[in-house]
Amino acid sequence: MLPIAKLDSLRSRFRELEELLCQPDVLTDSKRYTLLSRERGELDEIVRAYAEYTDTDKRLAEDKIAMGDPELRDLVVDEIPELERKKAELETKLETLLLPSDPSDQRNTILEIRSGTGGEEAALFAADLLHRDALHFEVRRNPGQHATHGGDRCADNSIAT
C-alpha cells in the first residue's frame, strides 16, 4: 500500500518549489536557486509517477462503474486488466522512488582502468572495459558527462553527476 499522505505532501512541496523558483529574490540568489532546483529535480519523477498513478486509479474506478451499464460494458471489459496492470507497475515504481537515496549518488567518480601485466592482450581487455563503461554512462546516466584521459596502458574515466 502506498503512503498517499506522503505522496500528497511531496506533490504540494513540488508545487511550492515551482512557485519559489519563479520569485525574483530566488532568481538573484544563485545558491538558493541551485538548492531549490536540485530539490525540485529530485521530486520531479516521483510527482510525475504519482500523477500518472492517480489518473490510472481514477480511470480504473470509472471503468468499474461503467461495467454496470450494458452498453458500456463491452468497451471497458478489455481496458480494466490493462489499467490494473499499469496501476500495479506504478505502485512498484513509486515504492522504489520513495526509498531514501544514497548520499554518495550525487558525488563525482573517477574510474581508473589499468592493463597491468599481460602485454597487448591485457591492454585490449582494458580498452574494452573502458569502452563498455563509457557506453553504459552514455545510455543510462549522463550522456556527455564523462571524460577519458590516457592511452592504451592506463585510462581514467571521470564521471560527473
Crossing angle of the two packed helices 79-97 and 30-66, in degrees rounded to 10: 150
Report field, pTM of the whole predicted structure over 0.75: no
pLDDT 10s digits, 144-160:
455 555 555 555 555 55
Residue ranges of E strands in the chain: 109-114, 146-150, 154-159
Q: How far apart are CA 142 and CA 159, in angstroms?
A: 8
Domain borders along the chain are: 4-97, 105-159
pLDDT 10s digits, 75-89:
888 899 999 999 999
Q: Is the confidence at residue 141, as pLDDT, over 80?
A: no
Phi/psi for 114 (5° steps) reads -120, 145
Q: How far apart are CA 55 and CA 146, in angstroms?
A: 38
- In CATH terms, 4-97 corresponds, of 1.10.4100, 1.20.120, 1.10.8, 1.20.58, to 1.20.58
